[in-house]
Amino acid sequence: MPERRFTAACVQMRSGRDPGANRDAAVAGIREAAARGADYVQTPEMTSLVERNREPLFEHVTVEERDPTLAALRQAARESGSMIHIGSIAVRSGDKFANRAYLIGADGEILASYDKLHLFDVDLPSGERWRESATYTGGACAVLAATPWAILGLTICYDIRFPALYRALAEAGAEVLTAPACFTRQTGEAHWHVLQRARAIETGAFVISAAQGGVHEDGRETFGHSLIVDPWGRVLADAGGSEPGVILAEIDLAQVADARARIPALQHGRPFTVERIDRQVPAAQ
């Protein structure tokens, strides 16, 4: 039987416009996490570059095979002996980019990749305007990945608002769900913790989410608070703010079976239709 416990780490970052500096920060965080005993280390969404303007992306972003951050973090996996989960990097995809996560084995080999399904297009009350679909292509496939300890479900940031995705991953076998993010401060303050805990409770799975935090060079402000949540919805580790750093927690997969036995909601789902009633009710005389 495979070992059912492992130590997970999140590297919280404040990536800017210099991919080299971001790459160095990610490698340093991975080394720190490994030195503290991490078997699995996750970095945030957009590890290699946080840039809201489309033109500079074309200057810095290349295809997967030539991406220097991917190469450096594969080497970091070999050197550290830890499994590395790159929350995401931007890679060329036709005339746009893919927002792509990578799971890298301790031997440096790419075990799985996932393109972010849901794209964040919104106008915020603060005046911030986001149009991910103008720059990125959305993925079309949910991804499960086997590790020596558990089955991971790979998602990214805005995906966390779509519970059907997480239920589908859990029903397909995921015991650990991941949602590395670059959450805005405003939406993070309102929803980050409750969404992470809700996805864990609904599925009886661990949720591990490394985050970007602080004010970035392109002007955006992200929430931070990288989180590791257990299947009962308890927060095992929280970065506690927006500063870069590393958090760790022990993941005991026996807790997944226990939570799902206590509340077997995954077994109780039933197909249904939606009926809309438009019958007008007469006003009271």
CA–CA gap between residue 241 and residue 278 (Å, rounded):
47
pLDDT in tens, 24-61: 999 999 999 999 999 999 999 999 999 988 888 888 99
- Mean pLDDT (the chain) is 95
Catalytic residue among 10, 116, 132, 175: 116
Catalytic residue among 10, 51, 132, 157: 157
pLDDT in tens, 219-263: 999 999 999 999 999 999 999 999 999 999 999 999 999 999 999
How much is the CA Rg of the chain, to the nearest whole Å? 19
CB contact at 8 A, 56 and 105: no
CA–CA gap between residue 16 and residue 210 (Å, rounded):
16
Told to judge if 65 belongs to the known catalytic residues of this protein, a careful annotator would answer no
Topology (CATH) of 5-267:
Nitrilase/N-carbamoyl-D-aminoacid amidohydrolase (3.60.110)
Q: Which pair of tokens denotes residue 194? A: 């409750």
Q: Please say if the pLDDT value at position 1 is more than 60.
A: no
Residues 6+ apart with CB under 8 A from 214: 14, 221, 222, 224, 242, 243, 244
Told to judge if 217 belongs to the known catalytic residues of this protein, a careful annotator would answer no
For residue 175, give the DSSP letter.
S
Told to judge if 96 belongs to the known catalytic residues of this protein, a careful annotator would answer no
Write out the H or E segment, with its range, that includes residue 207: strand 206-209
pLDDT in tens, 251-277: 999 999 999 999 999 999 999 999 999
Token match 């060329």: residue?
92
The amino acid occupying position 163 is P
Catalytic residue among 10, 45, 175, 182: 45
pTM recorded for the entire structure: 0.94
For residue 280, give the DSSP letter.
P
Number of H helices, E strands in the chain: 8, 17
Would you place residue 130 in the very low, low, confident or very high pLDDT band (cuts 50, 70, 90)?
confident
Q: Which of 118-132, 151-165, 235-249 has the lowest mean pLDDT?
A: 118-132
